[in-house]
Amino acid sequence: MKQNAEMIYAHDEAPYDSEGLRVQTVHNEQYLTLWRGARKMSHGFGEVIVMNSEYEKTVIHLDAIITNMYGQKFLSGLDFHEQELTTRGTILVTAYNTTMYNLTQMGGSEHGFVTDSLFFEIDIETQEILFSWSALDHFWPEDSMLPLISSSGYGGPKNPYDFFHLSSIQAVNHDSYLISSRNFWSVYLISRSNGRILWELRGNTKGGDFGALPHHGRFRWQNHVRAHNVTSREMILSMFDNHNSPEDMGKTYSRGLLLKLKLPPNPDEKPEILRILSPDRAKISPDYGSYQLGLSNGNQFMSWGAGGVVHEYGPDDGHDLRWQARFGYDESITSYRAFKDIWAGTPSKWTPALVVEKREDTVLGFVSWNGATDIDSYNIYLAEPGTALKPLGKANVLGFETGFDLGVKNNETNCIMVAAVRKGQEIRQSNVGCIEGKTFVSTFVDSRGKETGDSVVEKTKMQKIMGYFS
C-alpha cells in the first residue's frame, strides 16, 4: 500500500496463510517475495513466491524431507521466517523439522521432540539445494533460553520444543551467513564451506566471542538481524530487539538496536552502541518485528510485530517520528515484518478491471488495475459491439479504484472500455463493461493467471474486482 494507506496490490492466496511480503532488489531488478502455506505453532509449512515487476511468479519448493507430526500434507516444507534473495541467483529459506530428542535433562520425556531449525540456500532457476544447515548439528537444546513448556510447545510430537528458533538469515560476502537464534539470544556467523560457527554475539552479559556487551546494548528474543557495511575489520549490526516473549514479559520496551562490531572478534573489545531506537511511543512486542535502515529518504522504519503498529523515524533517533500507521489492536492482528520501499509494477497477466452501472439518468464507471503503479488516468471509450471505439473522455486516477460519471448526455451508453495511461501513453485496455449486468472480458485473467471465461455476471461493486474475483 501507499503511505496514505491506499492499496497498490492485493495478493490472494486463499485458502493459504501468507507472510513476509516485501520488495527485494537484486542487480537493479525488483522482486516481490512472500511465503504461503499453513502455520503451525511458531512456524509453518509452505512455499515461497518470487514475482518480478510484471507479477510473473516463480514458486520455490523445498526438495528435502521435512518431518511433521500433524498428519497433514503441506504445499512444501518451507517455513515463513526468511526468504532472502542473494546476488548469486539463490534464495535463503528456513525450515523446521520435528526430531525425536531425549529431554530428561530439562524435566521432559526421554522420547521427547524438538523442532530442529534448518536453513537452505536454493538455486532459484534449478531449485537445487546448494547448502543446508541444522541447529541440532551444532547446539544442545539444553542450552536454550526458552523454558521447556512455553506457548510454542512443550516437547510433544505435535508441540515440539522450539529450542533454537532461527528467525533470520543473510548472506555475508561470498563465504558466510549471518543467522539469528531468537531462543539462544544470539547472532552467529556461519561458514558457507562447512557450516562451522565462526563467531557468536550473545545478547546477555557474556557477549559471546566479542566480550561483554554494554548494559544498554544487551538484547534478547530478537528478530530481523541484518549486517551492514561489512569489511574485514568491522560490521554494523541492526536488529529488532523484542526483549520480551510470551513467557518473559518485562518492563523493558522493545526497540531497534544498532551495534558496531570490530572484526575479527576480540573479547577485550566491546561492541559499540551506535543507536537505540526506543521512541516516546515505544511498545512491548513479545513476538515478531523488524527494523529497516536506509530508506530512500534516509529515514528508518520499524514494525512492532505483535503490536500492530509501524513507525517511520528520521535518520537519527526515536524522537523524530515522521509517519505512523496502526493496522490492528495490540496482538489482535500481527505482522511478522513490515518494510517501506519503492515499487514499480505493471501486471502482464491481467488487465484493468471495469464495471459500469446505470444510476438514475447517468452512467457510472468504476475501474482498478490491481498491482499497477504510476497510472495517471484512464481514457474512456464507447465500445458498442460491431463498431469502432469512440472517445468519450478521460478520468484522472483517484486511487486504487477510480470512479467516473459519464453524465446525462451519455445516459444511453450501453458498453464502454477504458485504457490505462502512463506518461501520456496508453499501456493496457480494460475489459468491456456493459450496463445490462454483464461484463465481457475477452482475454481477461485473474491475479492467479487463470482465465475467467468469456463473460462474468457482475454485481456492480468494484470492491469485488481487484484483479481477481472473490
pLDDT digits (tens, 9 = 90+) for 27-83: 999 999 999 999 888 899 999 999 999 999 999 999 887 887 676 777 789 999 999
pLDDT at residue 443, rounded to an integer? 35
Average pLDDT, the chain: 89
197: which strand partners?
190
- Between 463 and 74, name the one with better pLDDT: 74
- What is the DSSP secondary-structure string of 47-64? EEEEE-TT--EEEE---S
CB-CB contact of 314 with 324 (8 Å):
no
pLDDT at residue 449, rounded to an integer? 40
In 304-376, the DSSP E strands lie at 309-313, 321-326, 353-359, 362-368
User: Cell match 512491548: residue?
Assistant: 284
pLDDT at residue 328, rounded to an integer? 78
pLDDT at residue 452, rounded to an integer? 39
- What is the DSSP secondary-structure string of 8-49? S-----TTSEEEEEEEEEETTEEEEEEEEEEEETTEEEEEEE
pLDDT at residue 408, rounded to an integer? 58
pLDDT digits (tens, 9 = 90+) for 9-28: 998 877 888 999 999 999 99
pLDDT digits (tens, 9 = 90+) for 357-407: 988 888 899 999 999 999 999 999 999 888 899 999 999 999 999 999 988
- Between 470 and 72, name the one with better pLDDT: 72
The yes-or-no verdict on residue 120 having pLDDT over 90 is: yes
Q: pLDDT class for 144, splitting at 50, 70, 90? A: very high
0.85 cut: is pTM over it?
yes
d(CA 467, CA 129): 34
d(CA 119, CA 110): 27
362: which strand partners?
359
Nearest to 209 by CA among 139, 281, 264: 264
d(CA 20, CA 50): 11
Domains, in order of start, for the chain:
17-326 (2.120.10), 353-464 (2.60.40.10)
Taking the alpha carbons at both ends of the chain, their separation in whole angstroms is 20
The yes-or-no verdict on residue 466 having pLDDT over 60 is: no
CB-CB contact of 93 with 119 (8 Å):
yes
pLDDT at residue 101, rounded to an integer? 97
The yes-or-no verdict on residue 322 having pLDDT over 50 is: yes
